[in-house]
Structure 1
Amino acid sequence: MKILITGGNNAKALKLMKAFPNHFVVLADYGDVPGIITENYVFSSLGILNKDSIAHILLNFCITESIDCIIPLHDYEIEPLAKSAVLFGEYGIQVLLPETDVLPNYLSSDKTAYPNFAVYIHGDCIFSSDNSIPLKQSPEFNGVFGYDLSADLKLFTL
């Protein structure tokens, strides 16, 4: 599987890579990106940032690069991608976010740096940075979430 993680110039994106050791990861960001290619991952540029056409930019990139799954980390990407998840799905691209109607429950108003994160796909916790939160969620539950000792899940964003 080929996974796109946006915000590739940020340490959080690199931290998230350990959740996908058996997949090829594309770390992408807007503007200048280091030209690094390895057997397991690559850094790539998404071009110039245009917040008005985020979903279009990312869909184009995913189709061109044969991406199977996208994990948006920039906070300005979250809502446009959640609203476009059905369109991405028509191209066989999974958007790893909660559904639009419950999305506000997982957005954080402050920039809290959570010490841990967990990855959920179809309600199953496939990775937890400290193995303490393997709770099963509803089958529609998707995303990468930061959490602390309270286990209050918030989207893992930049």
Structure 2
Amino acid sequence: MKILITGGNHAKALKLMKAFPNHFVLLADYGDVPGIVTENYAFSSIGVLNKDSIAHVLLNFCITEGIDCLIPLHSYEVEPIAKSAVLFGEYGIQVLLPDASSIAEYLPDKQSTFQNFAVFVGGECVFASGKEIFVRTEEKLNGVFGYNVADDELKLFTI
């Protein structure tokens, strides 16, 4: 599986790589990005940032790069991508975000620093950096969520 993590120039994106050891990870960002390619990951530029057409730009990028799964980390990408998740799905691209109808409850109140993060796919926790076991009742919860201790309310892991 080929996974795109936006915000590739940020340390949070690099932390997320350890959640996907058996997949190829493309770390991408807007503007200048180092041109590094390895067997398990690469860095790439998405191009010039245009917040007005962010979903369109990312969909084109995903199609061009053969992306199977998109993890948007920039806070300005979250809502437009969540609203466009069905369109991404039509191209076989899974968007790891909560449904657009419930995304507001997972947005951090302010830019937060979390000690840990957990990755949920289809309601199942597939990775937790703090080694916790999460049992959630939310149906089909998708996304990367930050937390400090396991009992914390999960918030999207954004930059």
Q: What is the TM-score of this pair, normalised by structure 1?
A: 0.97
Asked whether the equivalents of residues 133 and 151 of structure 1 are also in contact (C-alpha less than 8 Å), the reply is: no
Whole-angstrom CA distance in 2 between matches of 1:86 and 1:10: 27
Report the residue type matching 1:43 in the other structure. F
- Per-residue deviation, 1:52: 0.2
Aligned to 1:151: 152
* 1:119 alignment counterpart: 119
Q: Deviations 1:83-111 (Å, cap 9, x if unpaired)? A: 00000000000000000111011001211
Give the distance between the partners of 1:110 and 1:133, measured in 2 at CA.
26
| Distance in 1 separating the partners of 2:144 and 2:137 | 13
Runs of 4+ in 1 over 3 A off after TM superposition: 136-139
User: SS state of the match for residue 138, structure 1?
Assistant: coil
Q: CA, structure 1 residues 156+96, in 2 after alignment: closer, same or farther (shift >3 Å)?
A: same
Partner Cα distance (2:137, 2:79) in 1: 21
**1:93 matched to 2:93:** yes
Local SS of the residue matching 1:102: helix
Alignment partner, residue 21 of structure 1: 21
TM-score for the superposition, normalised by structure 2: 0.97
Give 1:45's aligned residue: 45
**How many residue pairs were aligned?**
158
Query: 2: distance between equivalents of 1:58 and 1:70?
Result: 9
RMSD after superposition: 0.9
Letter of the 2:152 partner, please give it. A
In percent, how many aligned pairs have the same letter?
Answer: 68
Code of the residue aligned with 1:156 in structure 2: it is: F
Deviation at 1:135, TM superposition (A): 1.7
Question: Is there any run of 5+ residues in structure 1 with no aligned partner, and where?
Answer: none
Q: Hey, what's the Cα distance between the residues in 1 that align with 2:140 and 2:124? A: 10
* Cα pair 1:8 1:28 within 8 Å, conserved: yes
Deviation at 1:148, TM superposition (A): 1.5
